[in-house]
Each structure stands twice: as structure tokens, then as C-alpha cells.
């Protein structure tokens, strides 16, 4: 088969044997995410024409104002995954607690739980900037046939069986991994089909882009300030000043840096000592993708996927991107933390 014209559905079937538990359930789960993404994409693309932009009037568990599209995307993903009876539990960044899903005859036999950020960067919708969805999939650890518990969701990132994101931009793409590399699929809106457009995606080992909200500079730890200075200093041979590129949509920033080479940083700050990004909904899935693409992800000192979660909405500092750039940032963090 010509891989250039391979559809996402064909790719999933062809590579199903790579899944740790090849029952077809994980394949159907990814297909469900694909379907929900198409529905959300349709709504995002007409956001300027209908009353779907702006604040919904509520706040989520994070204390953040919910956008109308946040609520819509959350409902669509939960509805799609629930109706197909593929998962036994769902946790969303928009919900206070996890959701238990019962299978046929309330038997709780499904094997997987999904953690999802339904619409990352949604505050950018009103100004037509790219947004995305992030998802993370684990195999349950509690006994099959019983309702899921918090333990099924508080797993280290290194236990993920699949993770990915959908970027709703100039084109709509699904980028995901099942632990065998990273592949990207672009939606052909004319026929509603995703085609393999970015096979075997890789972070360049080095890059020249750093993505950080420098408006918070005064609140950054010294190690981050020193790394930014390093990025901006010209070397004796006229090399280095790096380019600062920060969109404010995690999916978009990571997607660009994976293709072009770069580092994304959202560190702890004096106002947010644990950082802003959520370990389970954002950092773990992006870390899994980064490592599968030859990149690296840490909290500045420790591998993200080795952190033991203790809360459903736990926040952590996040350094993610080209391997050499993350390693260099970690060096500055280590130096600044020494007494």
C-alpha cells in the first residue's frame, strides 16, 4: 500500500499487533477519539459564525473560566466514549472527579481509562488561534468487573499505552503514539478522512526555538532566567540567539517544536510554585509523545513520566522538547538549586 494515501483507519488496523493487548479494544478507542475530534473540529471551524465563543459563565475545577467550546468539547468526547462502551472510566480536566462507565449489564469489563484535556488553549478561540485536544490512555489496574477507582487514574506516565493530541489549526491533525513511534494524520475536510501525512515524527536533537511566557520573567526561578539568558547570548562565532515563539496553546507550541526543533517551558513561578500545567491531562501525554519522537520531558530535575501522581488535577513544572535543549535547561536548573 502507498503509505502516502494510507488512512488513519487503515493504519490502526495494520499496526494493531503492536498493541500490548491486541483485543481490538484499543483500536476502537482511538477510532472513537478520531470521531469525536471530527465533531469538535466542525464546531471549532464555525466558531466565528455561531454563538459558541466566549465564556460559558462557569469555572472548572482549576478555578479557570470555562469557555463555551470547552464545555462543548468536553461533552462530545465524554458522550462519544461513553456511548461506544469502550472505556471503564474517564477523567477530564473540566470535571471535578472521574466518571465511571458501565459496560453491558453493568459488568465493568472494559479495560481502559482515558484522561483528556478536551480543548487546550480555548481562550485563543476568539482570536482564531490554533487550539487542540490532548488525550492519555491507560490500562486499568483494579480488578476487571468492578467499578474503576482513583488508583486507575493515578498511574505514572510510564504506564501509558497510548497518548496523543489533535490540533485544530490551518489543517486539523491527529498525532499519537502507542509506544512505537509517533505518527501524524491530517484531515481531508472534503471527505472527512484522516490521511498519514507525517510518518515517524521526530524532534530534532537540537533546535533554535524556546517557547515560554516571558511576561512572567520576574517570577521565574533563577535557573530558568539563566537558561533564557543563554538562549539570547551570542557566541564568539556569532551563533546562538534563539528565537522566542510562544503561542499560549500547548498543543500548538509542542507541535511546532516537534517539527522544527525547540523547547517548551512552563516552570514553577513565585505565584504558582507547582507550575500551571496538569500532570495527568497535559504533561504525561506530551512527555510520552516527546520521548517516542526522540525528545525529552522533565519538571526541570526529574523525568515527567516517573512522577507518581497523588491528585487527579495535580500540577507540575514542565520542560519538553528537543533532547539537547531540555538537558541544557536542566543543567541551569541544577546549578541554580545548589546551595
194 labeled binding residue: no
Place of cell 490512555: 137
C-alpha cell at 325: 535543549
Determine contact, residues 157/134, Cβ cutoff 8 Å: no
C-alpha cell at 157: 506516565
* Cα-Cα-Cα-Cα dihedral sign, residues 208, 211, 215, 221: negative
Alpha-carbon torsion, ordered 14, 29, 39, 115, to 10 deg: -130
330 labeled binding residue: no
SS3 category, 74: helix
Euclidean distance between CA atoms 208 and 263, whole angstroms: 8
14 labeled binding residue: no
**Which residues have CB under 8 Å from 114's CB, separation 6+?**
29, 33, 81, 87, 89, 90, 91, 135, 136, 137
298 labeled binding residue: no
117 labeled binding residue: yes
202 labeled binding residue: no
In 3D space, the residue among 74, 44, 70 whose CA is nearest the CA of residue 57 turns out to be 70
- φ/ψ bin of 121: left (φ > 0), alpha (ψ from -120 to 50), beta (otherwise): left
Backbone φ, ψ for residue 325 (5° rounding): -70, -45
How deeply is 91 buried, as exposed, middle or buried, from its count of CB atoms within 10 A (0-12, 13-18, 19+)? buried
120 labeled binding residue: yes
93 labeled binding residue: yes
119 labeled binding residue: yes
58 labeled binding residue: no
Place of cell 509542542: 254
DSSP structural state of residue 303: B
206 labeled binding residue: no
Place of cell 522533565: 298
Binding-site sequence positions for substrate: 120-123, 213, 246, 276
Binding-site sequence positions for Mg(2+): 93, 117, 119-120, 282
Binding-site sequence positions: 93, 117, 119-123, 213, 246, 276, 282
Amino acid at each position: 500500500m502507498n503509505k502516502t494515501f494510507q488512512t488513519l483507519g487503515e493504519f490502526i488496523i495494520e499496526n494493531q499487533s503492536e498493541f500490548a493487548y491486541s483485543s481490538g479494544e484499543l483500536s476502537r478507542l482511538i477510532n472513537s477519539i478520531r470521531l469525536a475530534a471530527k465533531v469538535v473540529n466542525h464546531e471549532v471551524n464555525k466558531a466565528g459564525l455561531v454563538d459558541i465563543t466566549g465564556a460559558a459563565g462557569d469555572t472548572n475545577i482549576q478555578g479557570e473560566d470555562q469557555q463555551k467550546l470547552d464545555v462543548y468539547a468536553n461533552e462530545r468526547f465524554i458522550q462519544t466514549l461513553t456511548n461506544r462502551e469502550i472505556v471503564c472510566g474517564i477523567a477530564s480536566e473540566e470535571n471535578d472527579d472521574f466518571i465511571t462507565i458501565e459496560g453491558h449489564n453493568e459488568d465493568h469489563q472494559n479495560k481502559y481509562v482515558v484522561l483528556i484535556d478536551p480543548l487546550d488553549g480555548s481562550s485563543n478561540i476568539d482570536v482564531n488561534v490554533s487550539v487542540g485536544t490532548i488525550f492519555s490512555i491507560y490500562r486499568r489496574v483494579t480488578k476487571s468487573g468492578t467499578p474503576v477507582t482513583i488508583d486507575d487514574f493515578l498511574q505514572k506516565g510510564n504506564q501509558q499505552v497510548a497518548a496523543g493530541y489533535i490540533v485544530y489549526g490551518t489543517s486539523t491533525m491527529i498525532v499519537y503514539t502507542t509506544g512505537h513511534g509517533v505518527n501524524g494524520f491530517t484531515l481531508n475536510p472534503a471527505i472527512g478522512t484522516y490521511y498519514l501525512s507525517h510518518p515517524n515524527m521526530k524532534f530534532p536533537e537540537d533546535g533554535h526555538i524556546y517557547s515560554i511566557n516571558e511576561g512572567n520573567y520576574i517570577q521565574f526561578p533563577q535557573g530558568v532566567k539563566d537558561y533564557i539568558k543563554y538562549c539570547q547570548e551570542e557566541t564568539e562565532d556569532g551563533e546562538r540567539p534563539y528565537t522566542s515563539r510562544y503561542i499560549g496553546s500547548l498543543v500548538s507550541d509542542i507541535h511546532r517544536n516537534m517539527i522544527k526543533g525547540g523547547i517548551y517551558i512552563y516552570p514553577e513561578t513565585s505565584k504558582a510554585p507547582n507550575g500551571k500545567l496538569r500532570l495527568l491531562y497535559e504533561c504525561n501525554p506530551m512527555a510520552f509523545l516527546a520521548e517516542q519522537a526522540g525528545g525529552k520531558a522533565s519538571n526541570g530535575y526529574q523525568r515527567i513520566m516517573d512522577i507518581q501522581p497523588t491528585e487527579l488535577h495535580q500540577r507540575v513544572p514542565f520542560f519538553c522538547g528537543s533532547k539537547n535543549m531540555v538537558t541544557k535547561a536542566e543543567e541551569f536548573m541544577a546549578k541554580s538549586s545548589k546551595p
